[in-house]
Amino acid sequence: MHRGCTVAFVLALAVVALPPPSAAFDQICSGLRYKTNSTFDANLRHVASTLPTNASSSPVHFATAAVGDVYALALCRGDMSTSSCNFCVDEAFHDAQQVCPFDMDVSMYYDICNIRFSNQDFLPAKNNSPQNVMFISSSQILSSPSVTDRFHHLVADLLNATVDYAVATSTRWFATGELDVSHVDYFDGQFSKIYSLAQCTPDLTPAQCRACLTLALAEMPRQVFPHNSQGGRVVGERCNLRYDVFSFYIIDAMLQLQVRPGGPGQKKSTPVLAIVLPMVFVVGSLTITLVGFCIWRKKELPTEAPLIVDAENTEDLQNFESFFIDLSTLQSATTNFDESNRLGAGGFGVVYKGTLPDGQEIAVKRLSKCSKQGLGQLKNELTLVAKLQHKNLVRLIGVCLEEGEKVLVYDYMPNKSLDTILFGTCLHLNFVWCFEKICNQTYNLSFDDRSRQKQTT
């Protein structure tokens, strides 16, 4: 009796100690073989031992490798943890040896990671290789042709919106979306939401990512929709798209849409904004008070000459040529605008901390594609900041207008900005103290400005 219990206990421990089972995957094998103990074999083993760690330790869970005649790439889904990413990429190399033994060009596609290794240098390519793209459909079939047409129309709308969000809003070229269909009777209660995902490798530019995802979108109606399945996927080494009627990611959807009931044949999709704003009343009150006070003070200042350039002015931005900085320099300084370097955000976009090649620390203000701040307002800001030499104003270093980007570069302020001091302190001090501090700071700025009117206008 005791011996039987001991054996059962040992078996239970053995089961617990087993690693997680390998996830389902799809693979593409080229049929090109390499020999055991060859140079390619040795280089591939080296890549397989280092790429999982390099990809999982990267803030964007992406890495490439080029060792001798072996070229490789690994990308994990944007919502994965470091450990999950490491495990998936490591398993992918092991599984590749089982399903494509001694193959020189293999692509492995999982739910949470993708890898490719090859004897050909595919790393400079910015789109999915046609021979390495997979079109995957789920086994769940839609019920009728009328349901199918409506479903595919909604999926196309959702995927297009998700692509836009991934390219225009995300800094990692990764976005998740969901479309709530629970308020309409299109699908007879089979499901209440449709989920989506779009992702590119983070080394692509926004334009390159959009081009890759646009090609994937174009393949959906030709390669995926005809199967009439409830889920589908277009995946390659550079970008991938997916949709399904269950949530296949582990974070809240970044983009939330809803189908509202309409008349016969009518459909209306509207974004649902779910934004948490802590201390909204306190911060809102202080902001309105500060803005009102600044407007009042501005009316009392001399108006001898305008500080702001007319937005319709035909003067070209070439006047600021000495300020231009290459986009590649700013991408290198901010690790391709990585989230770990993010300082803050506003209606204009996001501000990142960076370091120039000479070691100078900078704050990089990257205007969002969705920002309403156009070239006219950008010229105004350039003109104003370039002219002002004020001890309480940060210095403009440069500007970048390459590849559709609008980026301003300033000196980095290690002590943060005034709002941090005010709002951080107001958590512990009373409103009157905060208001007095705002007034004092605003007065100091306006007083110093009066003494510099002639040199700044």
What tens digit of pLDDT does each residue of 37-72 get? 999 999 999 999 999 999 999 999 999 999 999 999
Domain closes at, from 99, 124, 149: 124
Query: Do 153 and 244 reside in the same domain of the chain?
Result: yes
What tens digit of pLDDT does each residue of 413-431 get? 876 555 454 444 444 445 5
166 conformational bin, left if phi > 0, alpha if psi -120 to 50, beta if neither: alpha
Query: Do 190 and 252 reside in the same domain of the chain?
Result: yes
In this structure, is residue 237 part of a structural domain? yes
Query: Do 344 and 267 reside in the same domain of the chain?
Result: no
Q: In 3D, which of 308, 302, 293 has the Cα closest to residue 385? A: 308
- pTM of the predicted structure, to 2 decimals: 0.55
CATH code: domain of residue 107? 3.30.430.20
Query: Do 46 and 88 reside in the same domain of the chain?
Result: yes
For 439, the token pair is 């007034």
16 vs 7: CA distance, rounded Å:
14
Query: Do 356 and 234 reside in the same domain of the chain?
Result: no
Domain closes at, from 271, 295, 330: 271
Instruction: Write down the pLDDT at residue 315.
Output: 44
Query: Do 107 and 146 reside in the same domain of the chain?
Result: no
* Geometric angle at alpha carbon 19, from 16 and 25, rounded to 5°: 135
For 402-428, b where at least 16 C-beta lie within 10 A, e where not — what string?
Answer: eeebbbbbbebeeeeebeeebeeebee
228 vs 155: CA distance, rounded Å:
12
Domain closes at, from 74, 90, 124: 124
Instruction: Write down the pLDDT at residue 37.
Output: 94
In this structure, is residue 385 part of a structural domain? yes
Query: Which residues participate in the annotated binding site?
Result: 365
Q: Does residue 180 have a pLDDT over 80?
A: yes
Query: Do 319 and 397 reside in the same domain of the chain?
Result: yes
In this structure, is residue 14 part of a structural domain? no
Query: Do 156 and 257 reside in the same domain of the chain?
Result: yes
CATH code: domain of residue 408? 3.30.200.20
Which residue has better confidence, 411 or 378? 411
Query: Do 119 and 165 reside in the same domain of the chain?
Result: no
Query: Which residues participate in the annotated binding site for ATP?
Result: 365
In this structure, is residue 276 part of a structural domain? no
Query: 3-state class of 127 per DSSP?
Result: coil
**1-15, 234-248, 319-333, 391-405, range with the lowest pLDDT:** 1-15
Domain that holds residue 100: 23-124
In this structure, is residue 290 part of a structural domain? no
In this structure, is residue 403 part of a structural domain? yes
For 6, the token pair is 């001991």
At which residue do the structure tokens 């006219």 appear? 376
Query: Do 263 and 359 reside in the same domain of the chain?
Result: no
Q: In 3D, which of 298, 279, 286, 280 has the Cα closest to residue 436? A: 286
In this structure, is residue 255 part of a structural domain? yes
At which residue do the structure tokens 């501090």 appear? 437
Query: Do 210 and 233 reside in the same domain of the chain?
Result: yes
Instruction: Write down the pLDDT at residue 438.
Output: 60
CA dihedral 431, 437, 443, 445 (to 10 degrees): -130
What are the DSSP calls for 6-44, one per residue? HHHHHHHHHHHHSPPPPPPEEEEE---B--TTSHHHHHH
Judge contact between 202 and 336, C-beta under 8 A: yes
In this structure, is residue 8 part of a structural domain? no
Edge-to-edge strand ranges of the sheet holding 134-137:
134-137, 232-235, 239-244, 193-200, 174-180, 255-260, 268-271
For 87, the token pair is 């495990």
Range among 371-375, 386-390, 400-404 rated most confident: 400-404
Query: Do 157 and 194 reside in the same domain of the chain?
Result: yes
Instruction: Write down the pLDDT at residue 178.
Output: 96
For 130, the token pair is 């046609």
For 301, the token pair is 């200042």
What tens digit of pLDDT does each residue of 213-233 get? 999 999 999 999 998 899 999
Q: How many domains does the chain have?
A: 3
What tens digit of pLDDT does each residue of 287-334 get? 555 556 555 554 444 433 332 333 334 344 445 555 678 888 888 898
Summary mean pLDDT of the chain: 76
252 vs 216: CA distance, rounded Å:
24
